[in-house]
Chains A and B, each alone.
Chain A
Amino acid sequence: MADTFTIHLKIWRQDGPDKPGKLVDYTLDNVNEHMSFLEMLDVLNEQIVAEGREEPVEFDYDCREGICGSCNLMINGRAHGPKAMTCTCQLHMRNYSDGDTIVIEPFRAKGFPVIKDLIVDRSAFDRIIEAGGYVSVKTGSAPDANSIPVDKSVADTAFDYATCIGCGACVAACPNSSASLFTGAKLAHLNRLPQGEPERKRRTVAMVEQMDKEGFGDCSNYAECEAVCPKGISISAIAEMRRNYVKAALAGDEV
């Protein structure tokens, strides 16, 4: 077991929404290279509980297998840490070495208020989905999907966009805190399928308006979102969202 090493952590601690927060230093001596990042935080929390001086660090997770999008941490200034197409829960401590210092902060955006420590409220994304990220009519159960022919390339592209897990890394990493990649991915997924097509214009306008209302910033085409997205969603989704939005606005019909 020569694989354990020491890590210094600077973790954002904040008692609640609108409370002041600050970075607090911790040192962890028994980090194993096979631990995931979240397991490393579990060990830290055991240590904090054992010492009994303060409350454990609150952080969010659910599946720990890269599919739920809950494990949102800003790790050394990068959403989900240093590796491309990797969620925090899929990041392993072997990416770090003895004596490293890791700064951990919550995702920061007006649309993602901090609940406690590293946990943020991402319900703004739910409201963007509620604004139009669905198909209004019953399209049948799974077997019925096969009764509507969909071009293979269309289905594949729709699926690529459907892999968005709503983690919010795109917002967190965007210098403008824009939610365009998330919204664009949802739109690009639904708008190109025959089930979603009839509501394309209404959906695009409604979801764009909602992301405005939630206080997310404008997109300046930095493409940082694509770099941090654990699913590698392309910013082509954003261009497509604009195209559909312009078409809807030019048509000017009841959207």
Chain B
Amino acid sequence: MASFLQALKSQVGRKILTGVTGVGLIIFIIFHLATNLQVFGDVHAFNEAAYALESMGWLLYILEAGLAVAFLLHAYVGISIWWRRRKARPRGYEKYQSKGGPSHVTWASKSMIFTGIVLLVFLIIHLDTFKFADPGTVILPGGGEARDLKALMLATFQQPIYAFGYTAVMILLGFHLGHGFWSAFTSLTMKHNRYSALIYAAGIVFALLMAVGFLFIPLYIYFGGGCEAALIQCQ
């Protein structure tokens, strides 16, 4: 076991860690988006989904702890990779350009550390805005007193700073995933010539879906005027 932990500190181990935690975060954001889209469901759908989560009790705490660990580990390893990159080439080139062809040197791949740190800062603000906020409660038709996150969401995204700030961050998330999805496959040793181009393309499609899915919500609420909007049902 000691040797396994030792191995995780090596270059290859760090890569496996970014990959595993990255995939964990991908799975999380898929569920997160699916939950968020409930805001377009019937009046209570979104709050019910959130309530169902909160009713999981200790299981939720375990999942949240796992998520926190994955996030922190992912950020820590990502930052350490960036730090080592600076040390590995103390003097940069006067002129540098990609050779194209099979290369995946793109704005997305070169900016993983930037988009990543934005996501980290965003996460803190995001938790403060929603998770640790007190939005008041609402009685669900099926019984139970839930936090009225839907009202909070609608109120938050009618403020331009939130609506556009979230949109910008979600575009950056798209870029992070644009390289990250493919990269994770390769990090987790699944690179195969035959499927490589396919996985890369799938990654871009996935990144687009996630970015558009997430940013549609704040923009729609902002321009639709919250409860006024056609797709949103309020009490």
- Contact digits for B97-125, partner A, Cβ 8 Å, 1 yes 0 no: 11111111100011010000000000000
Q: Contact check, B101 vs A175: say whether CB atoms are below 8 A apart.
A: no
From residue A197, how far is it (CB to closest CB) to chain B in Å? 18
Q: Contact check, A249 vs B94: say whether CB atoms are below 8 A apart.
A: no
Chain A residues within an 8 Å CB radius of B187 = 221, 242
What is the size category of the interface that chain B forms with chain A? 35 or more
In the complex, whether B132 has a CB less than 8 A from a CB of chain A is no
Q: Which of B13-21, B64-72, B213-221 contacts A (4 or more CB under 8 A)?
A: B13-21
Checking B12, B92, B102 against A246 with a beta-carbon cut-off of 8 angstroms, the contacting residue is B12
Within residues 1 to 18 of chain B, which ones have a CB less than 8 A from any CB in chain A? Answer: 1, 3-4, 7-8, 10-16
Q: How many residues of A contact B (CB 8 A)?
A: 56
Q: CA separation between A72 and B196, bound complex, in Å?
A: 29
From residue B20, how far is it (CB to closest CB) to chain A in Å? 11
In the complex, whether A239 has a CB less than 8 A from a CB of chain B is yes
In the complex, whether B131 has a CB less than 8 A from a CB of chain A is no
Q: CA separation between A12 and B8, bound complex, in Å?
A: 39
If over half of A's interface residues share one DSSP class (helix, strand or loop), that class is named, otherwise mixed; here it is: mixed
Q: Contact check, B88 vs A227: say whether CB atoms are below 8 A apart.
A: no
Chain A residues within an 8 Å CB radius of B91 = 108
Q: CA separation between A37 and B208, bound complex, in Å?
A: 43
Q: Contact check, A176 vs B88: say whether CB atoms are below 8 A apart.
A: yes
- Contact digits for B54-75, partner A, Cβ 8 Å, 1 yes 0 no: 0000000000000000000000
Chain B residues within an 8 Å CB radius of A180 = 11
Checking A105, A211, A243 against B95 with a beta-carbon cut-off of 8 angstroms, the contacting residue is A105
In the complex, whether A109 has a CB less than 8 A from a CB of chain B is yes
From residue A74, how far is it (CB to closest CB) to chain B in Å? 6
Q: Contact check, A110 vs B99: say whether CB atoms are below 8 A apart.
A: no
Q: Contact check, A236 vs B191: say whether CB atoms are below 8 A apart.
A: yes
Chain B residues within an 8 Å CB radius of A240 = 189
In the complex, whether A226 has a CB less than 8 A from a CB of chain B is yes
Chain A residues within an 8 Å CB radius of B98 = 78, 224, 227
Within residues 57 to 110 of chain A, which ones have a CB less than 8 A from any CB in chain B? Answer: 74, 76-79, 82, 84, 103, 105, 108-110
Q: CA separation between A235 and B102, bound complex, in Å?
A: 10
Chain A residues within an 8 Å CB radius of B112 = 220
In the complex, whether A111 has a CB less than 8 A from a CB of chain B is yes
Chain A residues within an 8 Å CB radius of B87 = 110, 215, 217
Q: Contact check, B85 vs A217: say whether CB atoms are below 8 A apart.
A: yes
From residue A165, how far is it (CB to closest CB) to chain B in Å? 17
Checking A10, A223, A248 against B102 with a beta-carbon cut-off of 8 angstroms, the contacting residue is A223
Q: Contact check, B89 vs A226: say whether CB atoms are below 8 A apart.
A: no
Q: List 7 other contacts, CB 8 Å, given A10-B94, A177-B85, A228-B99.
A: A77-B95, A109-B89, A175-B110, A218-B81, A222-B104, A239-B186, A239-B192
10 cross-chain pairs, A with B, having the tightest CB-CB distances, nearest first: A249-B7, A239-B191, A217-B88, A177-B88, A227-B103, A77-B95, A243-B189, A227-B99, A77-B97, A221-B183
**Selected A-B contacts with CB under 8 Å, 15 pairs:** A79-B99, A84-B101, A103-B94, A105-B93, A217-B81, A220-B183, A221-B183, A222-B104, A223-B103, A224-B105, A236-B193, A239-B192, A242-B187, A245-B7, A249-B3
